[in-house]
Structure 1
């Protein structure tokens, strides 16, 4: 799959089938659309193109800095690569781009730059300046500029919308099982291992503290989770705490993982964490000794659960 960082850098001599959207999560609802894109491109002997945007349009148009996304750009690239598309375009979304009229977008972007012969789009898709153009307008432009419009059904659109909403809500509620079901894979966080207060090692539960650089990445509800941890090419199991460390001294939110049967130093290493199950709320204990006793129970429970899942 070829990846382009702007529409202007894209070039091809073949006709293309295009779909457009944010595709946040690249979840089971999106999978149907991407499979349709792949199949239609093969059927028409054309190249498949997914056009998406970053930053998220809401961040630009509504200055909604509180919006949290299910994927970082790198995660999205990796997930989309599994669908064997020909091209992925991640175009910078800014105010200038948002002011393109509907016809300018169709003529200059879709027709002249992307060389489309067909577009796959939702029945409720709106585009152009102030999002005033509808799919009926797109069909008219298709007749004028000689391309076909394939509609995603209302049922499929509803599935996508429901999935996205349910995933975000589930993660904010700590309901990992529901989130993973709708995603079709385990929700992940990636980040750099940084130095922490090193209190965990004093009670025989050393942790790797994770710094997630992307502020827009959705962090699940505070609590203790069973996770798998990918370090370079190896995978380990562990348990992770998201929270404010109330037993020690409440502060900013921390993300720290205790990796089972692991003693290597991994400071300044990027690791990837996959959520398996949430096991309890974060709690404030009377002492570090009481915290250690609970962590020992958590570890026994986690190892037993991991056995049943393997």
Structure 2
């Protein structure tokens, strides 16, 4: 898939899904579906769990137009930074950092991701100018798909219906997609974040359409786990990755995208050993080798308990044993 932050480097003409798409949840997938130029069988869709790609902008191999004459490129257009981050100056944690977003868009069959730099000039464009100058003149847009709550243009004055009316004057069709879960609740990235903060992994998975995952490289920690018989892998996830509630989880772990292992994970500051910084530590039930430097993808299956400070390492050790038993019962009862 071609990834670029430059409008001049974009592959054109385009069929565009427009939005921020943090999470690539089920609602986002419905917005993207109308622009895909080919259907995919379930067997063809790559697992969302394989380890992430390294995707510096403009370095992936573009699709050859010679191989696809008159091809319209299915394109997801998003903004960097997120407009809310731009206006507030506050960093946003992400459900899907860039590597994960690219991986999941590829699995859906998207040809191109364009991350438009969000600047004051862009923020000052009227809805009419945004459509004309960005979507039509620079991206040669042939088709557009957005969620029904999409807003754009100066001070977010343009709505999805406005977009449809403006695009119609250029004979460009716009699909407006309602984004609701089966129960009738609206699917949103904020609802997924709330579910994860509450330890409600089932709800998060219902909205995402897949389990929530954390991917990172194993780095050296304090190595205290091995002193009590539970050596853990300290996983360094991207700084911008959204972390769910502190506590202990039953997890499935993929090493370099393969080898499904069962385990427990702790997210938190480790108060029993006077920790001060949040960490992600994973204990694998069936692993005895060296994991340093390996890339792990941790799939969260069940929230077992909140983080707690214990009176001694012996109490902590006893609780970890109980956590392992609970995790095994949960995971082995839900084998995939």
Please name the residue that 1:204 is paired with. Answer: 229
Unaligned runs of 5+ in 1: none
Off by >4 Å, runs of 4+ in structure 1: 39-42, 158-161
Please name the residue that 1:294 is paired with. Answer: 319
Q: Tell me the TM-score normalised to structure 2 length.
A: 0.82
Q: Using the TM superposition, give the Cα deviation of residue 153 of structure 1 relative to its aligned residue in structure 2, in angstroms.
A: 3.8
Aligned to 2:272, the other structure's residue is in SS state coil
Which one of 113, 119, 127 corresponds to residue 94 of structure 1?
Answer: 119
Is the 2:17–2:77 contact (alpha carbons within 8 Å) kept by the matching residues of 1? yes
CA distance in 2, matches of 1:40, 1:127: 28
CA distance in 1, matches of 2:326, 2:159: 53
Is the 2:19–2:150 contact (alpha carbons within 8 Å) kept by the matching residues of 1? no
Unaligned runs of 5+ in 2: 41-69
Is the 1:124–1:134 contact (alpha carbons within 8 Å) kept by the matching residues of 2? yes
1:61 and 2:59 equivalent? Answer: no
1:49 and 2:79 equivalent? Answer: no
Is the 2:179–2:187 contact (alpha carbons within 8 Å) kept by the matching residues of 1? no
Is the 2:264–2:284 contact (alpha carbons within 8 Å) kept by the matching residues of 1? yes
1:54-112 residue CA offsets vs partner (Å, 9 max, x unmatched): 221111122232x3321111111111112112322222223332223333322221112
Is the 1:118–1:149 contact (alpha carbons within 8 Å) kept by the matching residues of 2? yes
Q: Tell me the TM-score normalised to structure 1 length.
A: 0.88
Is the 2:150–2:159 contact (alpha carbons within 8 Å) kept by the matching residues of 1? yes
Please name the residue that 1:6 is paired with. Answer: 6
Please name the residue that 2:45 is paired with. Answer: none
Is the 1:16–1:41 contact (alpha carbons within 8 Å) kept by the matching residues of 2? no
Aligned to 1:251, the other structure's residue is in SS state coil
Please name the residue that 2:205 is paired with. Answer: 180
Please name the residue that 1:273 is paired with. Answer: 298
CA distance in 2, matches of 1:106, 1:142: 7
Is the 1:50–1:87 contact (alpha carbons within 8 Å) kept by the matching residues of 2? yes
Please name the residue that 2:110 is paired with. Answer: 85
Is the 1:41–1:47 contact (alpha carbons within 8 Å) kept by the matching residues of 2? no
Does 249-258 or 119-128 show the bigger shift?
119-128
**Count of aligned pairs:** 304
More helix by share: 1
